[in-house]
Chain A
């Protein structure tokens, strides 16, 4: 049910440009080629900034690090600089490992309960592998797309592109990342559908994000390998958008508009969805703080006085028994 609603939503997003652009005139092409992408980019940028600022507006009252290794205490005990950082450099390393290598997900285990009862914990790296493959491929694909926006094509883009097309299979050359991204997304999707626990916790939004991303990658592949859309025209559109002199060349086909529209939708959806984990991971206090709360005082901006029980009140209540027990008193 949740799955179908999401699938339906993405299908609508595909059919919309399909019907409108195919039957519409120049103004419709302008709408889908220029206006919608601009709106997408604007919503994306402002949305992300808004969300990050919105998070940052709330303070971090306590230093609640999740420590995953030995603390720094005595000089002869080796502390874990990355898993339990006591310097800002350690935190930086920890965050880099987290963001670039998905360190925490790498720990993943799967529990098995056998008769007895007997519990066993096996390493389960599939989610980590698929997650990492997906995110890295997406990044590379994203960077590759710079060639449609910049003239001359930046050097690093050419390098990435050459590496990505290293195997020189097919014409146009098949990019490895195109395959990886689809395979990884498919795995993540199947996992969500077939692992009962994961299906149980899934919301429509979880499927929607997956279908949207699958729609984008597949439409991109279709545009490139099957319809072989006019690359020159696409580049004209891209550079035009970037230089704020947009033109929509007549040579661009409908399939490309579908791809572009889905990307625009993703951009608009991104800041208001769980996809914001991209920004959130940097702000997660359990990972981005130094575990030095005993060495350096952490300030809570809203720390307020509370009602406490003072020693005087305590002694007033227990003076007699304290005296009888021979305990020293403040007031005899």
Chain B
């Protein structure tokens, strides 16, 4: 599903955010990207959805080389991705329903289809009773769930989440993780950037570790879950 070959990215001269990253993520995988703050996790995700361009290297998503893609094709790429942003990026003046329907509207779907899917997505995250609220009237955990519903509503090939449990309490984290597992079970490839060790411990999956822009580890669940000592 995702192939990354020897990718370099630097925002400024002589300070690289990513140095020589190569990773393959097969279809249906569930992957954590971890590492300390500033390791380059967010940057890697941004490269995947075309918000940044790499200085060197190739990136293939769903068989398409996005580093060579004309910028007019980028929107088409994004339509098969579901992205949960670190700062949610919900529209504060729109209702929950309008926020979640946004990606479908943009794809020009029929109204009745939009209503049905949005309701379904909100039900999945347990917010169908709050569809007329506005994001700022919701708790942090609820806002996160709206953001996830917006990512899920397009039934994405790849679900990308940047620090999805950043400021949430453990109980809410648990609920959120269930949502990602559900999406993965329905066929989405899931990519989560996090520095939350606790989360990785409770839901062991493949872990790709970055540090200072370099790949420093890539462990599959079997080796990871083996108790040490």
A and B bind = no
Mark A residues whose CB is within 8 Å of B.
none
B: which residues have CB within 8 A of A? none
